[in-house]
Amino acid sequence: MDIAAILSILDATIRLSTPLLLACLAGMYSERAGIFDIGLEGKMLAAAFAAGAVAAITGSAWLGLLAGMAVSLSTTLLQGAAAITLKGNQLIAGVAINMLAAGMTTFLGQTWFSQGGRTPPLQPGGRFEPITLPFANELAGIPILGQIYADLISGHYILVYIAFIMVPVTAFVLYRTRFGLRLRAVGENPKAVDTAGISVVKQRYQAIIITGLLCGVAGAYFSIAQGSGFGNNMTAGKGYIALAALIFAKWKPVPAMFTCLLFGFLDALQIRLQGAQLGGVEIPVQAIQALPYVLTVILLAGFIGKAVGPKAGGVAYTKER
């Protein structure tokens, strides 16, 4: 395999791991605050539809992105009202969000656009275009380093760069700021935080607001960056894989990035392996497409080791009087 083929796979790895990374970081904020979020998939799907619909109508990718973030934030606050204010079961609230998003996106898509639940194909300006970094074209002729810069680092959508910038930002926020310290404390011992005079409810709402915004960016990536419009169930379970990556990385930002890159690599590999033969017999496409999901289960079951989540995760907090 030559350098061009390797860079091609790694380039696809970065693109495919981007929504996983955004959703994984989103889940990290809520779960570190003690809110288990199984609704990442639903938030991304709702955001993908909103972004695709608004971008198709207005012809603006940025308005589509804002719409996706707004819808994702709305679903997050709805989930938060059920799980934090009303002290409902967090897992059921997340499942409800997933079911609501799956049904509503198809229904609204068919009602508004009459294209089988899809949004119209986006015109130029309605989706983000790849960005060429400075000097990428000039350095492309330099072997190895120039090729890496031109073909692997340069040429991605702006949302890709935002996703990877959010890794050090999240690490700084969680481990170097007062907000992060309080957020982690709420997820471990909310009673102690409450005793110190800090509002547990406010802290948890602040965490899920960040979760909603990041899920909005992740969902918008599907329809107005990677794709050129919304399609039914286009997130295809990526929210669940992001949740698995979050557990595999043990709720830490940098390991989460490498885990998402691993899952993105497996996804890129299955695309490249389609049509491959084993012993003269072509491997069924379905078997290759299932490869990332099978390996996800194997990795989680066999290599994760002991993963202990936030101690107060999944437990509604009731203030003692």
Percentage of residues in the chain with pLDDT exceeding 70? 96
DSSP state for residue 224 in the 8-state scheme: I
Q: Quick check: 302 pLDDT over 70?
A: no
Q: Does residue 236 contact residue 50 with C-beta atoms inside 8 Å?
A: no
Q: What is the DSSP string of 119-166?
A: PPPPPTTSS--PBPPTTHHHHTTSTTHHHIIIIIISSB-HHHHHHHHH
Mean pLDDT of 116-130: 90
Three-state secondary-structure class, residue 183: helix
> What is the predicted pLDDT for the residue at 14?
95
Residues 15 and 3: their CA atoms lie apart, in Å, by 18
Three-state secondary-structure class, residue 281: strand
Confidence of residue 128 (pLDDT cuts 50, 70, 90): very high
Residues 264 and 272: their CA atoms lie apart, in Å, by 13
Hey, how many other C-beta atoms are within 10 angstroms of the C-beta on 247? 17
Predicted TM-score (pTM) of this structure: 0.92
pLDDT in tens, 129-164: 999 999 888 888 888 888 899 989 999 999 999 999
Of the candidates 85, 76, 75, 90, the one whose C-alpha atom is nearest the C-alpha of residue 202 is: 85
Amino acid present at 183? L
Residues 230 and 164: their CA atoms lie apart, in Å, by 24
